[in-house]
Chains A and B, each alone.
Chain A
């Protein structure tokens, strides 16, 4: 019963609770069987549930498999590279792996209306990658990391396991193995407004120590959760690139997607809202002239966690990751999850509406610039806008000590400094990453780090010297720079 008044005073104030399904208990598809599950007010029986999920999975994925959609209709499915599946061992990725196996690697179970008439797997190789985040939590590897390989191998020998560690993001050996650009160990100076990237004072630490310094330097629990997510995402993307993968599939369900959309927007990631659902990440390998790309697809984005959980239960899937990473109960992602999961219980269609509404959003103008940290688009002029809405003058304050860190005077670069030793990267960070590092913590302080290790991909600079650098020019250098434009006296 739900309340519409004070039941202690008014006897009729309780009204019957409305059922969560629209018409009858009969399956809306076959109209014969009694239903077993309610999906956003529609009732389905168990027999109709499996093809329904399979079709929704294929419909979301298969339009993105071929390099161009036209090829799809003529020749069936044929990807231009391999496949990488991101596997956390949680509900979504376990269901994703099961669906990939049943749809593409067991031809006997293929359904009617299959859009891949040639059959077989569209990808020559299927890699399954798992990222061990225990290094960030300062803990021993969990049993789920050990079980991961067993679960993947229990499916098929066609799945090739790749085990990654979060600290690989700071490991030059790993970076070299996957064929990344030449890199070096450098760190951020967040105190400086320009966010300087320069040599670390101690470059002899292990990748695990670098990771712990990086995590502990993030100013808020929200930033920690976001920072770890970004590292995982980038590790998967660079691994996909190293394995010549054309597709990276993630087990993000409709519910998780709605959570990540709201969470990302509230952390300043509104400009890349499109990339939260679908992303085409381009890269160029060493000694190559053509850009390659990895399509990041979330084939479960039309399926809520309820459908995923029923699929996992009815198929008796083993969920090896039983603990969710606890970035804190009060960080934005955790609060958003609580809100969306609570909303889904009573208003399941509203959660679906979040993802569908966000899929219609687009930016006013495209951007070619990519963020050094997360690889997502950087909105043009975003720092200028940020300057306009910020307090920039503290004329009544005399000493730097009393100023917030983001408005203190940056240290001046030495005249003779090497161009690579002192790169200002603020303008090459997206709004969300910049905000992650410069936001105030719960006690009002920003991060005080001046020696924070940067992930290897931030340090890897293309050989054409693309990194923008600011340095103070002497009078003679300025004169030489404009010499051609000067009129002779």
Chain B
């Protein structure tokens, strides 16, 4: 049985939490099917709109639109995370999981670590 929503645990590290209310850990709920253009409108999907399973690219847009407090350019660039931000999917480098194309599952833990803040 497929769920309508996915519950995810999101963590920020390396100073990235400063952009998200200075809070390292967040619980986020997102729809399991989302618009293909990664639009994060909370309105119900209408017939004829192209959809896809929620992936990390969508999650990045969702975090920007609903959780980020300031300076989105420090988090997102060209529809993905800014260079210098590392992403872990369930404790594994997202490069092993298909990066932004990874289809999210209920209970996934996604970590965003900035290497740009400290030095």
Residues of A within 8 A of B (CB): 17, 19-21, 25, 34-38, 43, 46, 88-92, 94, 255-256, 305-306, 308-310, 312-313, 319, 321-325, 341-342, 344-345
Q: A25-B96, A342-B83 are in contact. Are A256 and B119 (CB under 8 A)?
A: yes
List residues of B (87-108) whose CB comes within 8 Å of A's CBs. 88, 91-93, 95-96, 99
Interface of A is mostly: mixed
Chain B contacts for A255, CB-based, 8 A: 115
B14 touching A36 by the CB < 8 A rule? no
The answer for the CA separation of A488 and B117 in the assembled complex, in Å, is 75
Chain B contacts for A341, CB-based, 8 A: 83-84, 115-116
The answer for the CA separation of A36 and B13 in the assembled complex, in Å, is 18
The answer for the CA separation of A9 and B25 in the assembled complex, in Å, is 44
B113 touching A38 by the CB < 8 A rule? no
Q: A309-B14, A309-B86 are in contact. Are A36 and B93 (CB under 8 A)?
A: yes
Q: A35-B92, A322-B15 are in contact. Are A309 and B111 (CB under 8 A)?
A: no
The answer for the CA separation of A17 and B95 in the assembled complex, in Å, is 11
B118 touching A321 by the CB < 8 A rule? yes
9 CB-based A-B contacts, threshold 8 Å: A17-B99, A19-B95, A38-B93, A89-B118, A256-B119, A313-B113, A319-B14, A324-B117, A342-B83
Closest Cβ of chain A to B28, distance in Å, is 19
Closest Cβ of chain B to A152, distance in Å, is 15
Chain A contacts for B68, CB-based, 8 A: none
B13 touching A322 by the CB < 8 A rule? no
Which residue of A has the minimal Cβ distance to B111? A313
Chain A contacts for B83, CB-based, 8 A: 341-342, 344-345
B91 touching A36 by the CB < 8 A rule? yes
Chain A contacts for B30, CB-based, 8 A: none
The answer for the CA separation of A47 and B109 in the assembled complex, in Å, is 20
B115 touching A309 by the CB < 8 A rule? yes
Q: A309-B86, A322-B15, A342-B83 are in contact. Are A21 and B95 (CB under 8 A)?
A: yes
Q: A36-B91, A312-B14, A313-B88 are in contact. Are A322 and B118 (CB under 8 A)?
A: yes
Chain B contacts for A323, CB-based, 8 A: 15, 18, 117
The answer for the CA separation of A223 and B118 in the assembled complex, in Å, is 21
Which residue of B has the minimal Cβ distance to A94? B118
A309 touching B113 by the CB < 8 A rule? yes
**The one of B96, B115, B116, B117 that contacts A43, using a Cβ cutoff of 8 Å:** B96
Chain B contacts for A256, CB-based, 8 A: 119
Q: A306-B86, A322-B18 are in contact. Are A91 and B95 (CB under 8 A)?
A: no
The answer for the CA separation of A377 and B15 in the assembled complex, in Å, is 37
The answer for the CA separation of A92 and B115 in the assembled complex, in Å, is 10
Which residue of A has the minimal Cβ distance to B93? A37
B118 touching A38 by the CB < 8 A rule? no
Chain B contacts for A306, CB-based, 8 A: 86, 115
A310 touching B84 by the CB < 8 A rule? no
Closest Cβ of chain B to A351, distance in Å, is 11
Q: Which of A324, A325, A345 has the most CB of B within 10 A?
A: A345
Chain A contacts for B92, CB-based, 8 A: 34-37
The answer for the CA separation of A37 and B96 in the assembled complex, in Å, is 7
